[in-house]
Structure 1
Amino acid sequence: MGDTILREDFDGWSQLTLNRPEKLNSLTVGMFAELRSHIEDLAASDGIGCVVIRGAGKCFSAGHDLSDISAGEHPPSKGWHSETLRMLEKLPIPVVAAVHGHCYTGALEVALAADFIIASENARFGDTHAKFALTPVWGMSVRLPRRVGIATAKRLMFTAQMFGADEAVRIGLAEYSVPDETFDAEIEKLALQIAAQSHFSHAANKRLLDRADGKAADEALIREWMEGEGRGPDMRDRIAALMKK
């Protein structure tokens, strides 16, 4: 595996870092290949209760590498980028996108494949497909309106507007923002808090939420109690530990 996506393992959680800081972490086919390999490894791993994806250097990512596009990039198959991000989205582990600096277009599509986004106060977001006569193929037209609503998604896509962390929180794109100087500490605190919960529950709840998305309430409620996975193998130990306190 190369070094344009770095994986670091900590106490129960992993961090994936987009690592082309000299190119503002602009995204290439090679980076997606490395990302896909890490996703496959994480899907098969035990003991990881949270995954954080972030960028090295000045920003999360400036987006799809336009020089790759103009040179005629060659992914392994049609829809391969989108499939890779769906694999990230379907990991049986909570995935958090920790965004600082630029997060534009293709980079925003990567961040939207996470379960939620936290933003440093210096984060800047935007969808610039229309600026370059492009249309999304990595999931923007599906995930952005589900996150912020159809009208807001249209406004952002039609205007190619750039906006900051406060606006991202206001429209529901990011969950909350963090001062730049405490961003690293907040990432670690959040990842540890998520990883400390039952990994069984995380995986089961992600499946339930995915199945319920877009369904009528009655259907989703029936599927919850019919297809929910109930009690996990660590339930008794967790209850016993609480009772001891």
Structure 2
Amino acid sequence: MAELVLREDRDGLTVLTLNRPEKLNALTVALFQELRDHVEAIAGDEAVRCVVLRGAGKCFSAGNDLADIGAGKTPPSRGWHSETLRMMEKMPKPVIAAVHSHCYTGALEVALACDFILAADDAKFADTHGRWALTPVWGMSQRLPRRVGIATAKRMTFTAETVPAAEALRIGLAEYVVPLASFDAEIEKLGRRIADNSPFSHAAAKRLLEATDARPLDAGLAWEWQESEGRGPDAAERIARFLKK
């Protein structure tokens, strides 16, 4: 049986690929279990310095597999999907969602749990919970407004409209957009640029940003100087290398 999430390690850069291309990478309980297993393994893997999450074939993911839902497939516990995405979100490594073509509902919730979204110019995003009489339980109601603002999140939620890549960039949903023809090259370039920097700094910065998100500025500044982890074990080597240039 084919793996539902593939892992490829590239000298510090790890690419996780949702691997149900024949079903547009629709999300099932079984696929989520494999994603969770990879997240648990990568979180403690010091060789991994950056993670990219993408989809195989024609798109990132068309979203929840309605056939899986209709068949009564249930997760191991209540809140299990949300817990899995929170585990990915809190990994002490940058996690980038690389989105091409469809990224709908559950797939958008997965992408939002990454640190930011790199979009191909054919990317299309939507929250279609309302179309199917569903409500979010994987984090949409919390992460989407934090990314795009509450009014824009409400518009996407109430209309279930499809947001193209250019609009996703304008509203802050996608961090930047590249032509589909250069998408693979940009994934490698971005991942390598991140992986080349200090894993200590990445982990510390993620903890600071997470802890102070939406706090008043003075409270955030106080947290930063009280909780900042200072200089990492690779600082001296990195500075010496620069000074030798």
The normalised TM-score by structure 1 is: 0.99
Name the residue aligned to 1:105: 105
Cα distance in 1 for residues equivalent to 2:21 and 2:76: 25
Name the residue aligned to 1:170: 170
Name the SS of the counterpart of 2:48 in structure 1: coil
Matched letter for residue 120 of structure 2: S
Shift of 1:71: 1.4
Mapping of residues 57-96 of structure 1, within 5 Å:
57-96=57-96
Name the SS of the counterpart of 2:17 in structure 1: strand
Match status 1:216 vs 2:238:
no
Name the residue aligned to 2:19: 19
Cα distance in 1 for residues equivalent to 2:11 and 2:39: 18
Name the SS of the counterpart of 2:8 in structure 1: strand
Cα distance in 1 for residues equivalent to 2:171 and 2:47: 34
Match status 1:32 vs 2:68:
no
CA offsets per residue over residues 111-163 of structure 1, 9 Å max, x none? 00000001001111100000000001000000000000000000000000002
Matched letter for residue 155 of structure 1: R
Contact 1:52 1:98 survives alignment (8 Å): yes
Name the SS of the counterpart of 1:6 in structure 2: strand
Contact 1:96 1:116 survives alignment (8 Å): yes
Shift of 1:172: 0.2
How large is the RMSD of aligned CA atoms in angstroms?
0.9
Shift of 1:64: 0.5
Contact 1:2 1:34 survives alignment (8 Å): no
Shift of 1:12: 1.0
Shift of 1:2: 6.2
Name the SS of the counterpart of 2:209 in structure 1: helix
Name the residue aligned to 2:126: 126
Name the SS of the counterpart of 1:109 in structure 2: helix
Matched letter for residue 9 of structure 2: D
Cα distance in 1 for residues equivalent to 2:76 and 2:44: 23
Name the SS of the counterpart of 2:98 in structure 1: strand
Cα distance in 2 for residues equivalent to 1:23 and 1:220: 44
Mapping of residues 157-236 of structure 1, within 5 Å:
157-236=157-236
Name the SS of the counterpart of 1:51 in structure 2: strand
Count of residue pairs the alignment pairs up: 245
Matched letter for residue 230 of structure 1: G
Shift of 1:69: 1.0
Give identity over the alignment, percent: 66
Moved more, 65-74 or 185-194: 65-74
> Which consecutive residues of structure 1, in runs of 5 or more, have no partner in the other structure?
none
Shift of 1:208: 0.3
Stretches (4+) displaced over 3 A = none
CA offsets per residue over residues 200-221 of structure 1, 9 Å max, x none? 0000000000000121111111
Name the residue aligned to 1:8: 8
Name the SS of the counterpart of 1:46 in structure 2: coil
Contact 1:50 1:94 survives alignment (8 Å): yes
Name the SS of the counterpart of 2:14 in structure 1: strand
Cα distance in 2 for residues equivalent to 1:229 and 1:31: 36
Matched letter for residue 127 of structure 2: D
Shift of 1:76: 0.5
Name the residue aligned to 2:151: 151
The normalised TM-score by structure 2 is: 0.99
Shift of 1:231: 0.3
Matched letter for residue 125 of structure 2: F
Shift of 1:9: 0.2
CA offsets per residue over residues 73-98 of structure 1, 9 Å max, x none? 21000000000000000000000000
Matched letter for residue 57 of structure 1: G
Name the SS of the counterpart of 1:91 in structure 2: coil
